[in-house]
Structure 1
Amino acid sequence: MDGETLEVSERVRAATSIDLAAQLKELKDTYHWDALTSTGYGRFLSQKILGGGVTTEIKAYATSAHHFHRDINTVIDLGGQDTKVLSLDRKSGQLIKFEMNDKCSAGTGKFFEMMAATLGLSLEELVAAALKGERAFEINSTCTVFAESEVISLLTSGKSVEDIARAVHESLLVKLVSLLSRILNAETHSILFVGGGARNSTLVKFLADALAREVIVPEHPDFFGAYGAALVARTNLNQLP
């Protein structure tokens, strides 16, 4: 971080049904800090157990993006619960506009988890298969449950796993492009792609091709919001008398 030492303590759990309260209590017993800001869906529980402040994911991503990538004015976050796109002022880092997907897992990273399970693949296998697949058909269902039934029908009709994996990616791609179209402008030359979904290299490639723009993925895209929360905490600490 501009010559500073950045220490990251990370814990990744594959399962989404984690006992967050127990993890937070473990953090409280294990670490100490000078300032703390929590973000994400569990931020208020975190504040209750750990103290400190809270900030929205949108503020966290905007702060982190402006700190690390000041030449970029467009950010897309593909998470497990929702998808957000942000338009930022390059000079100030202030949020100009943001859009979110509707509350449906078909437009989030969770969609990939469910489709991979339906195909009997790991996430990594799903991503690799999609890159080999042909754009032979579309998955038209806008609901994950119906999309799952559609995938099963495609399998039983003899469609290849690779082509189905491609169609799964294309289905989510359409939703991402639609969201981004609401905030893109002539000055948008590059897009910052963050969140756990940005680890999907095939989706990154498809998105760059669809938009005809450079798509930049930071080294740890799934921790980008956490970096922003840490920057907010540092700012608040520096403002104390």
Structure 2
Amino acid sequence: MKLAGIDIGSRSLEFVLMDGDSCQIVERFQAETSIDLAAQLRSLKEKKAWDALVSTGYGRHLSQKMLGGEVVTEIKAYTTSAHHFYPDIPTVIDLGGQDTKALLINRHNGQLVKFEMNDKCSAGTGKFFEMMAATLGLSLSELVAAAIRGNKSLEINSTCTVFAESEVISLLTTGVSVEDIARAIHESLLNKLVSLLSRMMTSESPSILFVGGGAKNVALVSLLSDALGKKVVVPEHPDFFGAYGAALFAKQTLNKPMETI
């Protein structure tokens, strides 16, 4: 029995197949979200087979229309997968391309206690890194590597990406090194993550689970751990946790009808 979970975000699509008995992941697939998402989903349907499917993410309703199955919110999907794989970690941060979510989960029953979300501006999301890297003429991986080498703390005060870009250009023209600017860019977003997490952490939060594509940023992970004074746990495939949660929900649809969430 194969359970399918699909997470369609603004930047990428993640699809997983899970064994229904063991809940082990048997297949993963990731691609950039196409402009013609409907065609992308038709192709996926032709190539993959499953017994039950649940979709999540921004494109979940189109996915349901094209592929069938049920839908679940991203918050519910991340809560489910985080508690399933890391039941002892109650605090979760998800840094995606267009939004950032912080969750507090009851580690005894897996229920969501509360959450905070930053989706008002790209300055608090993974998109911010992409735009700042482009401003510096770097790839995203080069920006991360430069930030690791940076050793001087600078402030980028603007909370808007457009104005932050102007600050970065101004720093460049005054002779500040690319490495120190890259570190400042990371620290700017770090401050927003710490602010979100400060409202989600309790005395039962000895560590933080970091998921989403942004969790692959090793410079940010290190800075976040130092800022919080806590261990930051990054799973092997952090960007698949939405799809994992959707697949776990798919198991429920085999046993009883599930209302759209």
TM range (shorter): over 0.9
- Give structure 1 stretches of 5+ with no counterpart: none
Q: 2:195 aligns with which of 178, 183, 187?
A: 178
Identical residues among aligned pairs (%) = 72
Matches within 5 A, 1:15-164: 18-164=35-181
Matched with 2:207 is 190
Q: In structure 2, give the amino acid aligned to 1:28.
A: K
Q: Distance in 2 between matches of 1:26 and 1:3?
A: 28
Whole-Å Cα distance in 2 between the matches of residues 150 and 17 of structure 1?
A: 32
Find the counterpart in structure 1 of residue 28 from structure 2: 9
Amino acid at match of 2:207: S
Q: Deviations over 1:94-137 (max 9, x none)?
A: 00000011410000000001001111111111001001112331
Match of 1:210 in 2: 227
Q: Return closer, same or farther for 1:4/1:45 CA change in 2, 3 Å cut-off.
A: closer
Match of 2:255 in 1: 238
| Counterpart-to-counterpart distance in 2, 1:5 and 1:143 | 41
Q: Specify the SS of the correspondent of 1:97.
A: strand
Question: Aligned residue for 2:16?
Answer: none
Task: Extract unaligned runs of 5+ from structure 2.
Answer: 1-18
Give the counterpart letter for 2:27 in structure 1: V
Task: Please give the secondary structure, in 2, of the residue aligned with 1:115.
Answer: helix
TM-score (norm 2): 0.88
More helix by share: 1
Give the residue type in structure 1 aligned to 2:101.
K
With over 3 angstroms needed to count, the CA separation of the structure-2 counterparts of 1:82 and 1:233, relative to structure 1, is same
What is the TM-score of this pair, normalised by structure 1?
0.95
- Structure 2 partner of 1:222: 239
Match for residue 3 of structure 2? none
* CA gap 1:56/1:174 in 2 versus in 1, 3 angstroms: same
1:185 Cα deviation (Å)? 1.2
CA contact (8 A) 2:93 2:102 kept: yes
Alpha-carbon offset, residue 23 of structure 1? 0.8
**CA RMSD, 1 decimal:** 1.5
Letter of the structure 2 residue corresponding to residue 113 of structure 1: E
Query: Conserved in 1, the CA contact under 8 Å of 2:55 and 2:246?
Result: yes
